[in-house]
Structure 1
Amino acid sequence: MERVAVLGAGSWGTTFAKVLADAGTDVVLWARRPEVADAIDGSRVNADYLPGVVLPENLSATSDAGKALAGAQAVVLAVPSQTLRGNLTAWRDRLPADATLVSLAKGVELGTLKRMSEVIREVASVPEDRVAVVSGPNLAKEIAAGQPTATVIACTDHDRAVDLQHACSTPYFRPYTNVDVVGCELGGACKNVIALACGMAAGLGFGDNTVASIITRGLAETARLGEELGADPLTFAGLAGLGDLVATCASPLSRNRTFGERLGRGDTLAQAQEAAHGQVAEGVKSCSSIRELAERLGVDMPITEGVHRVCHEGLDPRVLTAALLGRERKAERE
């Protein structure tokens, strides 16, 4: 794989573009704002999202999607989950034939309740074996700084996953392959919601026991949803499940954890969003779509339900804590 287009120049899109370039792949990064693309080409830095990180010479930037897509063997979609459909609709006629479409977005679409790979397949009219997803403990600033991490590239076509694996393997970024797209996507989507709950607990002054309990029970409800949708249970014990969950729930670099912490300290949703300075906490919207999906399938997801009620129904996080602790006692693996 010699040339890859990355559409979306936020922190994770820019970081993944850097990983690809460091692995020796030529990369064109599309930025929505021309001034961001010009700054990247001129200074080799995306100052808005990764200040101080020098980008490789084999990474170029443009605000022209057609120019970015021309000749690309893979197209990496690095836009927020709830904007994926609209953006991809604008790009689909320019997608190169047989290019692998790669989702970095982690969420479930509001309204349709589709996973990101399902949105891509529907909008781009491509078979499932052309769509891959990337998931794992992927805190952008640490990876951009060259700190070691691992990730999962999931695709039903194992050969495509291997091609992507080779295209983004570096001394600091170790990708594994997986064919369980459903499990990897659900792990990535649900962990944002669980991280909001962990942040709320921290904002209320609770310690590590509380956070560890939320992480563990959050993983359990994610696995229940995955089982109902046909995911491999072992996926949730791996990088796209437990690995991503721990990083997102525990790190101050996690937007969802930080957002939840503000809510726990008493901020309103609007105040927390203002403090985020335009950074998207995906779990704020995904909690509603995941909750609706769980209800449709008859899956019990009490943490997700509670996060939705805090974010969108005005529930006090302290009431959520009491409600979770007051649930009916039962066996752990019931």
Structure 2
Amino acid sequence: MTKIAVLGAGSWGTALSIVLADNGHDVRLWTHRQEQADTINQKHKNEKYLDATIPEQVKAFYRLDKAIEDVSAVLIVVPAKAIRDVSMELDKVLKDPAVIIHATKGIEPESLRRVSQLIGEEMTGYDYEDVVVLSGPSHAEEVGKRQPTTVTVSSINSQNAAFAQDLFINESFRVYTSNDMVGIELGGALKNIIALGAGISDGLGYGDNAKAALITRGLAEITRLGASLGASPLTFLGLPGVGDLIVTCTSPHSRNWRAGNLLGKGQKLDEVLEQMGMVVEGVRTTKAAYQFAKEQQIEMPITEGLYQVLFNDEKPKDIVEQLMNRNKRDEMDDIASFIRTSLPE
């Protein structure tokens, strides 16, 4: 039995706590709200975020210093915008060495830093190379019901990756390992942009043809940006790439799809975010990817179009028309480029 602190009692943190408890671990689920912690401990429910019964092995805490006492691992599952603050607070109270794992899908807009890099920058004695990332096609709602799910863990530190794999893997939660930490993190973050677009497409009343094109061309954009930052293009053909794209672009479980769907139906971004009541990571990630693509002259027309919808109040239908009327080109040009960047030297 391993003692693990899970930082973040939203839907995903709660679902992963259930996985860890099913594996016999001592799970300590942290929230900054005492009322939420009391409800979890008394009722074994976290109904605002997840419709599932929480095992008794999961104990909730609202004091961070108590949650991380004597733990062997810390799983960070807070929104990307809170990563720096939570990492700084964790650094103050974590006295003994522990393996740091994160399951947050996002990047920092100003710097385009990945979550592992943010943790490494804010925690004394923890390099980002030792952080483990967990990512893949995984709706919290289905994980909480113990439906079959497959994800990937990755770290430059292979021992830490293997440790995380052993922590999580069970008969309903299969875990692969990968050595491409850059690709795993970027795939999990960038797919949220395309999921927003898929939701907009559905909100506009378009059909499967449009969504298939969006997902396929979106994968090309993700691969171009990821490769420019050192990821292997082949990673995006795996679970954190194609897999996560499919699940996030096609399901109402996805917050990003739901937000895009409301935008496609004519609502404004502020209205959508207020109605959602939870963080929509794709909005922040769209800004980050758009800024970086402009600086590095990387072609990302879908991302650029979404940026105009989100931040410049452009009409979604007008952006679709612009995308459909771009200059003619040969699709094999992109495929040939993809193959060239995928092959070893």
With the length of structure 1 as denominator, give the TM-score of the two structures: 0.97
RMSD in angstroms over aligned alpha carbons? 1.2
Task: Confirm or deny that 1:292 pairs with 2:276.
Answer: no
3-state SS in 2 of match to 1:329: coil
Q: Please give the per-residue CA displacement for 1:222-242, whole angstroms capped at 9, x wherever unaligned.
A: 001111111111110000110
Q: Report the Cα distance in structure 2 between the residues aligned to 1:320 and 1:25, rounded to whole angstroms.
A: 49
Confirm or deny: 8 A CA contact 1:24 1:167 kept in the other structure. no
Q: Unaligned stretches of 5+ in structure 1?
A: none
Moved more, 143-152 or 129-138: 129-138
2:118 counterpart of 1:99: no
**Is contact 2:70–2:96 with CA below 8 Å preserved after alignment?**
no
Q: What's the CA shift for 1:158?
A: 1.4
Q: What is the alpha-carbon distance in structure 1 between the residues aligned to residue 271 and residue 12 of structure 2? A: 24
Change (3 A) 1:331 1:96: farther
Match of 1:64 in 2: 63
Alignment TM-score, normalising by the size of structure 2: 0.94
Q: Distance in 1 between matches of 2:196 and 2:187?
A: 15
Given that 1:82 and 1:110 are in contact with CA atoms closer than 8 Å, whether structure 2 keeps it comes out as no
Match of 2:135 in 1: 135
| SS at structure 2 position matched to 1:152 | strand
Deviations, residues 253-304 of structure 1 (Å, cap 9, x unaligned): 100001001000100112211221x111110111001111222222111111
User: Which residue number corresponds to residue 26 of structure 1?
Assistant: 26
Equivalence map 1:1-334=2 (5 Å):
2-51=2-51, 53-125=52-124, 126-276=126-276, 278-334=277-333
8 Å CA contact retained: 1:73, 1:96: no
- Residue 339 of structure 2: aligned partner: none
Aligned residues: 332
Give the distance between the partners of 2:214 and 2:24, measured in 1 at CA.
40
Contact map agreement 1:72 1:96 (CA 8 A) in 2:
no
Q: 1:154 to 1:96 in 2, by over 3 A?
A: farther
Amino acid of the residue matched to residue 207 of structure 2?
G
The 3 A distance-change label for structure 1 pair 95 and 295 is farther
Shift in Å at residue 96 of structure 1?
4.4
Q: Distance in 1 between matches of 2:291 and 2:96?
A: 35
Instruction: Give the Cα–Cα distance (whole angstroms) in 1 for the partners of residues 148 and 157 of structure 2.
Output: 27
Amino acid at match of 1:75: V
d(CA) in 2 for partners of 1:298, 1:134: 30
Gaps of 5+ in 2: 334-345
Conserved 8 A contact 2:226-2:233? yes
Q: 1:203, 1:182 → 2: CA distance?
A: 32
- Asked if 1 retains the 8 angstrom alpha-carbon contact of 2:101 and 2:164, the reply is no
| SS of alignment partner, residue 215 of structure 1 | helix
* CA offset digits 1:62-117 (Å, max 9, x no partner): 00101111111111111111121122222212224431211211111122221111
SS of aligned partner of 1:133: strand
Cα distance in 1 for residues equivalent to 2:159 and 2:95: 19
The one-letter amino acid of 2:315's match is D
Distance across 2 between alignment mates of 1:85 and 1:166: 27
